[in-house]
Amino acid sequence: MATDPICGMFVEDTPQALSHKRGTTTFFFCSQSCRLEFVAPAKEVLKLKVYSFASFAAGAIILALMFFRTTLFGLVGRAAPNHETTNLILLALATPIQFVAGGRFYLGFLHALRARAANMDTLIALGTTTAYAYSAVVALVPHRYGTDTYFDSSVLIIAFILLGRTLEHTMKSRATDALRALVGLQPRVARLRRSGVEYEVPLEQIKVGDEFVVAPGERIATDGRVVEGEAQVDESLVSGESLPVHKRAGDDVVGASVNTNGRLVVAATRVGNDTLLAQIKDLVERAQSGRAPIQRLVDAISAKFVPAVLLIAAASAVAWYLADAPLPILPGAAPVAKAAIVFVAVVIIACPCALGLATPAALLVGVGKGAEHGILVKDTAQLERAARVKTVLFDKTGTLTQAKLRVTDVFAVPGPARDEVLRLAASVEAGSEHPIGKAVVAAALEAKAKLAKTEGFEAASGRGVRAMLGDQRIVAGTMAWLEMNGVNAGPLATELDRLQAEGKSVIAVARGSEALGLVALADTPKEGAAAAIAALHAMGIDTALVSGDNAKTARAVADGLGIRRVHAPVLPADKAHLVEIEKKHGQLVAMVGDGINDAPALAAADVGIALGSGTDVAREAGGLILLKNDPRDVVNAIHLARRTRAKIWQNLFWAFVYNVALIPVAALGLLDPILAGAAMGLSSVTVVGNSLTLRGFRPALESHGTTRAAAAAPAKAPGPATAKPLPMAMPMMQGGSGPETDPVCQMKVDPTTAKWTHEHAGKRYVFCSARCHELFSKEPARFLT
């Protein structure tokens, strides 16, 4: 099964079906017109305009000859021809319109017959052919069936349908203007630098590893890494981020972004189809031709709809042929004429163009707007499901936090100063490649501390480092590492417990055999993380933190961001298992992550949301990708999904109104075939026009943290109403009388009011939620070790 990427209609992907191969992907089409529009859109829209104009011109002349022939010929001093001659003139005018301008409908009808299917071209071809054929017989065999012809109906139906297609194509093209503009802004040349010499070359000649120069005001030729210089780079066209980003040596840059100031020398890392811009274009095009789950309903209806319409049209035609009553719209028509007119009106008004467009038109605009704001949709099915998500699980490191340690506390025992503890720790850590060591050195340099030169540097994996400063040994690392080096770490124990209870990583520092103090580090929350959690709660969406870190650290992060439920420590395989448990509660679950360890959970979730800065594996597993790596875009993605889904349902409503409500009107002889053609064309334009209102989409959560959704939503947050700042210094509640600790998420629970409890090994445990209770009851030992 396949879907027409132009109109969204269901297509049998058989060898007989119309198809076109682009790259490694084969696309299938319901009609020749859709195929032509996909292969050569500019050429096709020009044809549509020419054929529409010719059809309306011929229709106008036919109407004039039918109703004003005496007046028209009188103006040129000639006698009006008789009805037989006039009908032959009308036949000559209508024939090229029927088979040239309307030829696309016959091609689509023939392909549908070969595929043993029925499509919108089936109805158009049968309807217009019926009106044309009856009229042709009247013109060629005078007096047999009277003199009344309906060439005006066949010609103007084709004219209105072609006009609808033209307007539809024009409106749809506007939906992807931003994407085409983005691709068109990529530079055509680059200033290559080799052996100190700079010269311009076509962009196609740039290879991975080549260095090129970007002057102030110029666009960056291709994706790369800065090797020289500093500048503010405007990446708004790619990421949607309005503020320029500071770039210096070692930073990655994206092709087509603008160097606003400074001179950069960039080494190309990705070229051609491998660039981020090319990948965005490919992803958006694929997503815009994808199918949302709701499209299955449309496919099922369409598969039955066309045959049902033909039966209704045939039955109506027979009924009017046998009826003695005059046709309301044409009282003097003969029985055969009555039957033909009703048949044409029914099949034309029922043409399911709007029904087929309802879903893809909204997706076309929604996916494009997402790309404009840095939200890439890989899987339209996940975009549709995102509108109904009720639980969002967040990975911690790199998703809600910066994955960048910073020094938060420096403690010194009586005697040495805190600055001295930090300086000595940084001096010995200067030789370390560990993230903790780098963070300590960065903090010391920021404090303008003068680092001492050490010798004999040694590092013990997982324990710490040591080096000689003059004739004294400086040791930094775990308490066990200090004790292994003959240091009495007792004076540090109380403060160590307090800092670790806050979820911080702590290194102890000693000089010789003397313990000097502690340096505590913590990951920093991403800007907007707390606002994102609060906005999700205001939207009625539950949140939970899923982390491989220890429970204390995860709990501290969750408390600071306003997340009530925590699952930690959780292994990668357990993350996917946790997603499955959440899904068993009957609610759609989204997972947000960035690492290799998040990939199984991203794939298992109903909606996988991967950060653009994450690993390739994570991006492959996710259905939505957030280019800005901003947690607030989780809110914006769900908001976009809800808006898009609402437009799909609105489109379906209008399509059914046109296609279903007017069928009885046509069957009762109350609808002129020409008006039916106009209404059918208008239905497609209405659906596309309604979808285009999505172009006004704006992110629900702005960069300053204010959310329109949160302000308007009356729903109460399932978590804290407001998120707390995250200084990472919230002491954990200790055990004893009073609240007890949920063994799964470490949350404090009042045992007297606990709703979920479990007896294990003679002890009663309490839980904050049904999910934690379910996890514990399946594997108690996992949470008690």
In DSSP notation, 246-281 reads: EE-TT-EE-TT-EE-SS-EEEEEEE-GGGSHHHHHH
pLDDT at 213: 92
CB of 207 within 8 A of CB of 268?
yes
pLDDT at 569: 77
| Token output for 237 | 């066209």
> Is pLDDT above 50 for 313?
yes
From 177-181, 451-455, 605-609, 725-729, the region with the lowest mean pLDDT: 725-729
Over its C-alpha atoms, the chain yields an Rg (Å, rounded) of: 35
Q: pLDDT grade, residue 764 (50/70/90)? A: confident
pLDDT at 145: 63
pLDDT in tens, 694-706: 888 888 776 544 4
Angle between helices 353-372 and 177-184 in degrees, nearest 10: 40
From 1-15, 329-343, 648-662, the region with the lowest mean pLDDT: 1-15
> Is pLDDT above 70 for 713?
no
CB of 352 within 8 A of CB of 298?
no
> Is pLDDT above 80 for 244?
no
pLDDT in tens, 176-228: 555 555 556 678 888 898 887 888 888 888 899 999 999 888 889 888 999 99
pLDDT in tens, 321-362: 999 889 888 888 888 888 888 988 888 787 766 776 677 778
> Is pLDDT above 70 for 100?
yes
* Position with higher pLDDT, 734 vs 176: 176
Catalytic residue among 121, 152, 210, 395: 395
Q: pLDDT grade, residue 531 (50/70/90)? A: very high
Tell me, yes or no, if 395 is annotated catalytic.
Answer: yes
pLDDT at 727: 30
What 3 state SS string does 451-464 have? CCCCEEEEEECCCE
CA dist 248 and 212 (Å) reads 15
Q: pLDDT grade, residue 388 (50/70/90)? A: very high
Mean pLDDT calculated for residue range 42-47: 79
SS3 72: helix
- Tell if the pTM clears 0.85, that is, is over it: no
> Is pLDDT above 80 for 33?
no
From 583-592, 620-629, 745-754, the region with the lowest mean pLDDT: 745-754
> Is pLDDT above 60 for 560?
yes
From 26-30, 203-207, 427-431, 715-719, the region with the lowest mean pLDDT: 715-719
